[in-house]
A and B are shown apart, each in its own frame.
Chain A
Amino acid sequence: MNFPLPSLIAVSAANPWTYVLFAAIGFAFGYTLEMSGFGDSRKLAAQFYFTELTVLKVMFTAITVAMVLLFGAVGLGLLDFSQVWVNPTYLASGIVGGLIMGVGFIVGGFCPTTSLASASTGKIDGMLFMLGGFVGAFLFGETEKYFDGWYTNAGYFGRVTLDQVFGIPVGAVVVIVILMALFMFWGGEQLERIFGKKDLSKEPKIRVAGAVALFAAAVTVLALGSPSLEEKYNKVKFTRTETIEQLNADPIVNTLTYTADDMLANRLVFITPAEAFKAKYNQSMNPVYLDVRSEADYNLYHIEDAVNVPLERLAEVIPVLLSEPPANTVFMLMSNDETAAVQAWKILVGSSVQNVYILEGGVNNWIAFFGAEDKSLQPKPNAGDDQLGYLFPAALGSRYESCSPSPIEYEALEFEAKIILQLKRDKSGGGCG
C-alpha cells in the first residue's frame, strides 16, 4: 500500500468520511495547541521578549518530529513524497507576507490557529483576533488585484525543497535541521534562565534522552536514503480500461494495470501528430509541448508553442512541472525521432509528473504528416537516429507553415485517442492556500 491514500487527498461528498477525517485532524491540532498553552496570548508574546520560549520549543519539536517520520516513511518506500503537498516557493510575497505576519503576531498576540484555541476556550482577545482575521483576509481579497502580477510571479521557483537548494541528500538536511533545532532548544533554555529567571534544574531530564533519540532517528533517515529515480520509475503503475464488444450482451470492461515499461512497449503513451495537434483545440485539456532537442535543432524548426527544454536540462524544470499546472495539463514530449523523448518520459514519470505523452515519430513524423507539401523542406538522406531528417533553407523556428497547421484545413483528422487524463490531484489548492 502506498500512502497517502488517493481517496483521502481531498474532501468529497462522494466519500463523507473524508470530512470526518479532516475534522479529526483539526480536532487533534486544536487540542494539542490548547494543551501546550497557546490559548493564552501572554505565553505566545513572551517568545519575543525571551522570558518563555514555548513557541519555539513546541514548533521546532513538532517540525523535527514530523520531518523525521515523514522522510523516514519516504525512505522506507511507504510514502510517495510527490503526492505530499509541498508549499511552492514564492520568495517575494513570502518574505513580505512573513514580515507582516510577524507584526500581526506581536501586536495581536496570536497566530490564526492559536486564536482558534483561545477563542474556543472563552478568551475575548482570541475572539477579537479571529474577527480581525476575517477582516484582514477580506481586505486581502479586495486589494490583491492591484499587485496580482507581483503576487503570482515575483521570486517564483515552484516546488523546491531545501535539499534541492543546497544540492545535498535530503537525509543530510534532516540531520542539519535537527542539530540546528537542538542548538536552538539549548539556547532557548539559556535565554529563559537569563531573561525569565527560570530554574533549569527543575526541567525533566528525559528531554536529553529525547534529543538523543531524535538525533539517532535523523541519522537513520540519512542512512535509509531516498528512493532513486529508477526505483520510483519502477513503482509507477498505470491503469487503462479495455472494452470488449459482445454479440447480444453488454460489453465487458476490463481494467488493466501496466508498469511504465509496459506502457512504452505497448505504445500506449505515443500519440500521433494528429492527436497532438487536436489537443490544442480540446477544451478539456491544457497541452504543453516540451521539445527536448538541442537549441540548434529547435531554432531550425519547431512546433508552434513548443517550449525548448534540452534533455540535459530537464531536471531543472521538474519543480515547476510538479507544482503549478492545473490538473488537466498534458505534457507532450518530442525529439527528432523518439530516443531522447523516451528518456525524458522516463525521467518525468519517475519524478511523478502526471499526464506525460510522447509525440510518435517525433518532429520528423510531424513534418512528414503536416509538411509533406512544403517544397522548401527537403528530406535529408542518411540522417542518424533521433536527428532531423530534413534540410531547412533557414532557421525559421516556428515560422514554417507546418509548424502551426490550419485548424480549418485539418478540421477532420482521424486518430486513435491515447491521452487519458489522470486528475489525481488539483495542485491549485493545498496547504493553507
Chain B
Amino acid sequence: MTTQTRKSFFKRPEKNYVHPYFGGVVLGIVLFLAFFLTGNGLGSSGATSRLDAALVDAISPSHVDNTPYLLKMAGGDKNPLDDWIVPVFFGALLGGFSSGFFNGRLKIMTTKGPNISDRTRWLMAFLGGVIFLYGARLARGCTSGQALSGGATLSAGSWVVMFAIFGGAYGVAYFVRKFWN
C-alpha cells in the first residue's frame, strides 16, 4: 500500500497543459487581484537580488556598505528580505511545484532542443540566467515585473521594455537556432 501511494506521488498520470488563452485569462485575474488588493503587481527578479543581498550581508556586511546598489536594500538595519516580492517568490516556487504535482509533471529531466547534449543545455541555461537577470536588474524588472505588470498598468516605460525583450530575443534567435531546432 505504501509503495502504491509513493508511486502515485511521483507518477501521477501526466495531464496536458491548459489552453494558452485559458491560462492567460487565469493569469490576468491573478494579476488584477494582486493590483486590486495590494497595489503591487507580480514579479520575481527583485527577490533574486534581495536574496543575493541577504547572502552578501551575512558573509560580509562591510561589502554591502561599499556597494551603493546593495546599500539600498541591505544597508544599516534594513533587512533585504523584508519586502513583498520575497513571499511572492517562494509562493511561486510552491505554486509551480503544486501544479507539477497535480498534473503529473514532477520529473527530474532536462528540457532542450533535439540536437544538443544535456551538458550544453545546462551550460546555456546557466549562461542565460546570468544574462537575463543582469538585464532584468538593469531594466528594473523582468518579464513579470515590467512586461506583465507594467503592461497592464499601461506604464510607458514597461511597454518599451517589453518590446526590447522581444526585439532582443528575435534578434538573436537565428544565431542560436541549433540549440532549439
Taking beta carbons and an 8 Å cutoff, which residues of A are in contact with B? 3-5, 8-11, 13, 18-37, 39-43, 45-49, 53-54, 57-67, 69-70, 73, 78-79, 83-91, 93-126, 128-142, 144-145, 148, 151, 157, 159-165, 170, 173-174, 177, 185, 204, 207, 210, 425, 428-433
B28/A61 in contact, CB under 8 A: yes
Give the chain B neighbours of A101 by CB distance below 8 A.
Answer: 131-132, 135-136, 139, 142-143, 161, 164-165, 168
Q: Mark B86-99, 1 if CB is under 8 A from A, else 0.
A: 11111111111111
Give the chain B neighbours of A86 by CB distance below 8 A.
Answer: 150, 153-155
Give the chain B neighbours of A98 by CB distance below 8 A.
Answer: 135, 139, 146, 160-165, 167-168
Q: What CA separation (Å) do A73 and B34 show in the bound complex?
A: 13
The SS class assigned to the B binding surface is helix
Give the chain B neighbours of A60 by CB distance below 8 A.
Answer: 24
* Given contact pairs A3-B37, A9-B38, A98-B161, A210 touches B134 in the complex (Cβ within 8 A): no
A429/B164 in contact, CB under 8 A: no
A89/B37 in contact, CB under 8 A: no
B95/A28 in contact, CB under 8 A: yes
B145/A87 in contact, CB under 8 A: yes
The SS class assigned to the A binding surface is helix
Judged by a CB distance under 8 angstroms, whether B23 is at the interface is: yes
Q: Which residue in chain A gives the minimum CB-CB distance to B28? A: A65
A173/B53 in contact, CB under 8 A: no
B97 CB to nearest chain A CB (Å): 4
B83 CB to nearest chain A CB (Å): 6
Give the chain A neighbours of B139 by CB distance below 8 A.
Answer: 90, 93-94, 96-98, 100-101
A102 CB to nearest chain B CB (Å): 2
Give the chain A neighbours of B154 by CB distance below 8 A.
Answer: 67, 86, 161-163, 170, 173-174, 177
Q: What CA separation (Å) do A118 and B106 show in the bound complex?
A: 10
Q: What CA separation (Å) do A68 and B136 show in the bound complex?
A: 26
A161/B155 in contact, CB under 8 A: yes
Judged by a CB distance under 8 angstroms, whether B100 is at the interface is: yes
Judged by a CB distance under 8 angstroms, whether B126 is at the interface is: yes
Contact of B168 among A100, A162, A431 (CB under 8 A): A100
Q: Which residue in chain B gives the minimum CB-CB distance to A139? A: B134
The A-contacting residues of B in range 14-45, CB under 8 angstroms, are 17-21, 23-45
Which of B26, B135, B166 lies at the interface centre, i.e. has the most chain A CB atoms within 10 A of its CB? B135
Contact of A94 among B112, B129, B151, B164 (CB under 8 A): B164
* Given contact pairs A4-B36, A86-B153, A136-B134, A27 touches B95 in the complex (Cβ within 8 A): yes
Give the chain A neighbours of B153 by CB distance below 8 A.
Answer: 67, 70, 84-87, 161
Give the chain A neighbours of B90 by CB distance below 8 A.
Answer: 23, 26
